[in-house]
Structure formats: structure tokens, C-alpha cells
Amino acid sequence: MTTATRLKLLSIGAAFAVGLAAAPISAQNLRIGLQEDPDLLDPDTGRTFVGRIVFAAMCDKLIDIDPELSFVPQLATSWSWSDDALALTMSLRQGVRFQDGEPFNAEAVKFNIERSQTLPGSRRKSELATVSGVDVVDEHTVRINVSAPFSPLLAALADRAGMMVSPKAAAALGEDLATAPVCAGPFAFTERVQQERIVLEKFDGYWNADAIGIERVEYRIIPDTTVRLANLQSGDLDMIERLATSDIAAVEADPRLSLEQATGLGYQGLTVNLNNGPRADNPLGNDPRVREALELAIDRNVINQVVFDGRFLPGNQPVPPTNPFYIGTWPTPERDVERAKALLAEAGVSKPTFELMVTNNPIGLQVGQVVQAMASEAGFNLELKATEFATALQRQSAGDFELFLIGWSGRVDPDGNIHIFVETDGALNDGKYSNPEADAAVNAARQSSVYQERHALYEKAAQHYLADRPRIYLYHVKWFWAVSDDVDGFVPFPDGMIRLQGVKLGS
């Protein structure tokens, strides 16, 4: 990258003014600034990171994780596998009710798992693909049977597949449950104004009510990181997620604010449309040499320094280099512009032009502009298309994209970062990548609980999907939150969620 280009990139910035109607300020009203508007507020059909943040307050799960990533009880108090690893028996918490007053019990768990498997549009199907049936042992005991050993099941039940919705509400609303979700968590859904706010009210019947010190939670949608911080500094917000790294110094210098952080579990990268509709029919979608050329045109360290002040972690895989399932035999490639040009010439492609869709927030635009500038030096012409977040996801699912800068917040088990994106029938395989050998390896990895066996299988799968490049992984985030000093008890988690148990707001 030339010095002039580097200096130009350092000056890149963007701002989107957002006007929000402020709710009455109350010591018990917690206001959280979100970077995007969530998609569907239904654990079975939702797919967004910000949606999971809202679910963390609204929908308890069968099990949860602690900050050290160990599984801990939530709606299930204990669990155990059968000797043949084909049945998971869970003891359920007694005295729990959904926010509509309906009881939570083994029948409700059976209903929820079957709904996740059969609901049209469910994103949880592949996470529960091996579940062959659910037995109601008694009112507070459930047995989940699997057709083959399935090591990621606990991790799935510690996320959206384990979130319990009211069977009564789900039966009444069907696919429209997202418009009025009813769960078993500490806060009940009250109001949603698209692109503006989501409001939840404390559920007095919550089983763990003593841990809840907030009466009302309002999530405000503010895509611009600078505007989010300004709202926090002015007192219009109490907390913001995904603080921009360029704003960390300002938060650290402000005695009214505190900085919280945690290393994330996921990745950010470029998803390529390989076979999802007519927009996949181009040199990038058709020829792996063109995709390799694009990767070699990119310097991940430059992205990290220019956009994130060196605070993130460059990477080339679904898990970060610090993860025990990272494939060391496939290290992050160095930038090689001449090799990229040679690959394009070998593919018979001259100045390939593609649309790079990015989300319409400053960070997405900045990363997109850095990639655009570097790729141009290798002969690519990338046309940026800034798109509202939920709309971008819809376009991705419909195949209305060529290249999309999008990431994944990550899961405790590596299966959650790999299978649903790489396996042919994966729920989030929006580029429609398909490689039978990769399929066989990631499916086999689900059946082993032995680290060495799973690592070997993931390495075998990586030899295919990393070479095929349906996705070009770029970096791994660190989560940064800026929090008002009026907020007490917030604990950062590596999954990036905002858990409100134990959180209190002073006057």
C-alpha cells in the first residue's frame, strides 16, 4: 500500500445523524445504545448479534455460560449424558412461568425444540439436526435424544436453540411470534419502533427476580458510533455496545464513564456469493483463483491499524489464533499484490468489478473503504454499497449480493462458527457453498467429544473451505462497552451479550 493511500485511509470517517425521541429519565430506566436494529425477535428465526443482546434480557435459556465460558444452570438446574452419548437428561427449574403466566415445564421444552426443528424459516434447524426426539420423563425432567453423538448440543442450548418461548403464545401467533415475543426471562416485550427503539418492562413473575434491579430497559438504535458515544456523554444513554476503538481514549479520560472489554469468540470477513441465484454468476463466484487474488490483495494488519487502532486481532479462520481449534497449518497469508495480479491474469480476468455490500455504519464503511483501496492496487474495482443492516441480511439470504462484509459474534463450541456457514445445508450458508468432503468432516466433528479427534476433523474441513474461500476471514473483534458511572454490576462476557442480572442504576 502506498504512503498516500495509507494517509488517505487514516482520514476516512462517516457520520449518520439519528434523531430519537427520549423517554422520561428514571433511576430504574436503563437506556442502551445498539449499533443496529435487530431482525426478528423470535429465537428460532432471529440471526443478528443485536437481537441476541435483546434476547439476553427477554429470553432465558436452558443453560448459560459464565465469563470463563463454562456452562452454568439457568432454566435447567442440572444435566447428564447417557453412557452411549445418545440421550441428554435435564432437570428443570421448578416454579418458573412464562411472561404470559403459562408454566414452564418439560412439555414446554419439548414444544420449543420441536418448533425449532419444524418452524418455516427457523435458523436453529441445523443446530438441532441430530435431535431425534424429546421425551417428557416427568413434569420437571426432559430427555433429549440424538441420532448420533452430538458434542455441540450443550453449546446450542446455551444460545438461541435453548431459549424458551411460551407454547401458548407461539401456537397463537405462529410465524408472527416475533411481533409480540413471550419468553421466560426477566423482562417482557412492550414496544418496538423499527430503526428507533425496543422497550422491555420488568416481569414481576421472574423466577430470579431478586437479581433484577431495573424496571425498564430501552434499546435505542444508533448506527453511528460517534453519535452513540455523544448520547452517552450527554446522559441520554446509560450504556453503549461496540464502542469504536477511536473513542476509547475519550471514555478513559471521562470520569463519568467506565470502559469494559472482553475478547470475542467470532470473526468478521467477506462472504462471497458462490451459488445463490444469478448474482453468483461472475468471476468471483465462479473461480477460486479470483477469490484467492482478492485475499492476497488485502493486508489484515493494515485494516487493524487503520480502522481499529491495532486493538483487534487479524485472522484468517472462523476462530481466532488464540483458540485451541485454530488450524496452525494454515496461517494468515501475507499480502502479495504481484501474486494477486498473476492469479487474475491466469484466470483471464481483467479489472474485475464487483459490488461490496457493507452495513451503513462508520465502521462498516471504513473497513469497506480500506478493502476497496487495497484491492484496487491488485486490479479489482470494488463498488461499495452501504445498506441498512436488516435489509443487508435480507439481501444476503435472497442471494441479492456478490460480496458482503459481515461477521459472526461467535459461539463457545467451534461448531457454532463453522457448520452453519460451511455445510451444504447450513442455516446461514447464504453463499450456497458446497463441498462434500468439507461436509463429511464438519458433520463427523459433531459426533466426537475428544479434542484431538475433533481438531483433526476441523483441519480436514479447513483444507477445503479455506482453499475454496466461500468466505475470506479478516479479523476478530474485542468487545468494548462504555458505561455510565451510574450503572453498577455490569459484567463483560466474551460472547458480547449484555446480561442484566445484578445490574443496578443509581439516581
Q: How far, in Å, CA of 299 to CA of 307, rounded?
A: 12
pLDDT surpasses 70 at 484:
yes
Exposure string over 227-258, b if 16+ CB within 10 A, otherwise e: bbbbbbbeebbbbbbbbbbbbbebbeebeebb
**pLDDT tens by residue, 352-410:** 999 999 999 999 999 999 999 999 999 999 999 999 999 999 999 999 999 999 999 99
Question: Which residue in this structure is represented by grid cell 463450541?
Answer: 413
- Alpha helix segments (H runs only) across 32-157: 49-58, 106-118, 153-157
Half-sphere exposure of 369 (CA within 13 A, CB side): 20
Output the average pLDDT for the chain: 93
Q: How far, in Å, CA of 107 to CA of 130, rounded?
A: 20
Question: Which residue in this structure is represented by grid cell 478493502?
Answer: 371
**pLDDT tens by residue, 222-241:** 999 999 999 999 999 999 99
CB 283 within 8 A of CB 290: yes
pLDDT surpasses 90 at 3:
no
- Alpha helix segments (H runs only) across 3-48: 3-10
CB pairs under 8 A, 24+ apart, for 435-440? 435/464, 435/465, 435/468, 437/461, 437/464, 438/464, 438/465, 438/468
Secondary structure of residue 197 in the 3-state scheme: strand
Q: How far, in Å, CA of 464 to CA of 422, rounded?
A: 10
CB 204 within 8 A of CB 189: no
How many angstroms separate the first and last alpha carbons of the chain?
Answer: 51
CB 72 within 8 A of CB 83: no
CB 497 within 8 A of CB 52: yes
Side chain identity, residue 37:
D
Please indicate, yes or no, whether the overall pTM of this predicted structure exceeds 0.75: yes
Question: Which residue in this structure is represented by grid cell 461448531?
Answer: 415
Beta-bridge mates of residue 29: 216
Q: List the domains of the chain with CATH numbers.
A: 29-42+185-264+480-505 (3.40.190.10), 60-169 (3.90.76.10), 266-476 (3.10.105.10)
Compute the average pLDDT of residues 30-57: 97
**pLDDT tens by residue, 74-117:** 999 999 999 999 999 999 999 999 999 999 999 999 999 999 99
Question: 271: which residues sit within 8 A by CB, 6+ positions away?
Answer: 396, 401, 403, 404, 406, 430, 431, 470, 471
CB 73 within 8 A of CB 90: no
Q: Given this model, what pLDDT does residue 506 score?
A: 82
Q: How far, in Å, CA of 405 to CA of 246, rounded?
A: 20
Give percent of the chain with pLDDT exceeding 90.
Answer: 93
Categorize the per-residue pLDDT at 464 as very low, low, confident or very high, splitting at 50, 70 and 90. very high
